Amino acid sequence: MFSKSCEYAIKAMICISQKSRNGKRVGVIEVAESIDAPKHFIAKILQELSRKNLVKSIKGLNGGFYLEKAEQKTSIADIVKAIDGDKIYNQCVLGLKDCSQKNPCPVHNEYKEIKKHLIAMLEKNTIGNFNEPLDNGKFFLKKI
Amino acid sequence: MFSKSCEYAIKAMICISQKSRNGKRVGVIEVAESIDAPKHFIAKILQELSRKNLVKSIKGLNGGFYLEKAEQKTSIADIVKAIDGDKIYNQCVLGLKDCSQKNPCPVHNEYKEIKKHLIAMLEKNTIGNFNEPLDNGKFFLKKI
DNA sequence: TAAATAAAAGACAAATATGTCTTTTATTGC
DNA sequence: GCAATAAAAGACATATTTGTCTTTTATTTA
């Protein structure tokens, strides 16, 4: 569904969100270990997210990545759009180039409904929503 | 959502289905042109589909690819499974390795419903269902 | 100001997906 | 049996994604 980079981005955001609530910053290495991902690769992804203002960063001692209050409201959809673009918004499931409301493929309308729910889900769920269940061990960012 | 190979496979199956109803066989080149895809690449994909018995083929003069009655009942899901595997059945949307009913990520249950509809759609729609709308110019396998 | 820290940037490498070309094998019609 | 046809197979090439390593830049603390 999403690229590996995008999955990493989502996990990294969740990780940083949870660990930076107390005002602390989180380093690349800590993020990488927390989500079981290669650190240099995560570094690149975080730079991308930083350029797109989805995450804040500070260099130097005690530096690292963190989320501001407003950024806790970032939705999964925002992250997906930042990394994978808006394919899921526009593309035909079957990959037909000429599929639209005017020339709908046989599954167009049915998929339109499904897509609506999918997008609603991605837009409704914000990074901040993940803090508590993560705190409470309801789910895990990596195999334990 | 699906790999390029998988999208090609679906389109190729639809194309062959429509053009082989009259007992004729369809050649690789004709398929490739009909769906606007590279012919050698399509050849490989068709070999794969052939090995997995989703399409029949005959070598030599008047040979080519075709579908038997039973194969008209092949669903999109069947093709997806043959080419991309069963990722969409099993994988967490967020890519979490440890997401399950026991440790559900915050969108697990919501996505489960969406996935149910998605899979139902893919399993319900068979290749044969596409013949008529394609005949009637309701949709197109490539840009015209 | 110097040393330590940590992100930013960019070059490089490996893996995978996609695409191209050539040779081999099977079938048909003459 | 021979020539023509068309899929099967496999080698090769390119592009994209993913992953690694090194250098640079910014910041802090002593």
Within 8 A of B98 by CB-CB distance, chain A residues are 139-140, 142-144
Q: Give the mean pLDDT of B123-137.
A: 97
pLDDT at position A49 over 90: yes
Q: Taking CA A104 as the corner, what is the angle to CA A100 and CA A109, rounded to the nearest 5 degrees?
A: 100
Q: Kindly report, residue by residue over B59-106, the tens digit of the pLDDT.
A: 999 999 999 999 999 999 999 999 999 999 999 999 999 999 999 999
Look up the pTM and report it.
Answer: 0.95
Closest-CA residue to B98 (of B110, B108, B89, B88): B108
Q: What is the pLDDT of residue B96?
A: 96
What average pLDDT is seen over chain B?
Answer: 97
pLDDT bracket for residue A8 (50, 70, 90): very high
By C-alpha distance, the chain A residue nearest B105 is A139
DSSP state letter for A41: H
Q: Are A25 and A68 spatial neighbours (Cβ–Cβ below 8 Å)?
A: no
Return the number of other C-beta atoms located less than 10 Å from residue B85's C-beta: 13
The mean pLDDT value of chain A amounts to 97
Rounded to whole angstroms, the distance from the CA of residue A40 to the C1' of nucleotide C5 is: 17
Query: Which pLDDT tens digit goes with each residue over A82-133?
Result: 999 999 999 999 999 999 999 999 999 999 999 999 999 999 999 999 999 9
Give the CA-trace dihedral at B87, B93, B98, B103, to 10 degrees. Answer: -120
Residue B144 has pLDDT above 90, yes or no: no
Q: Do A114 and B113 touch (CB under 8 A)?
A: no
The whole-number pLDDT of residue A135 equals 96
Please give the pLDDT value at position B134.
Answer: 97
Contact yes or no for B34/B62 (Cβ under 8 A): no
What percent of chain B has pLDDT above 70?
Answer: 100
Residue % of chain B over a pLDDT of 90: 99
pLDDT at B27: 97
pLDDT-derived band at A72 (thresholds 50, 70, 90) equals very high
Closest residue in chain A to residue B92, using alpha carbons only = A1
Work out the pLDDT band at B143, boundaries 50, 70, 90. very high
Distance CA A35, CA A21 (A): 18
Q: Residue B66 CB closer than 7 angstroms to strand D? A: no
In Å, the largest CA–CA distance within chain B is 58
Chain B residues with CB inside 8 Å of A95's CB? 2, 4, 7-8, 10-11
Q: What is the mean pLDDT of residues B135-144?
A: 94
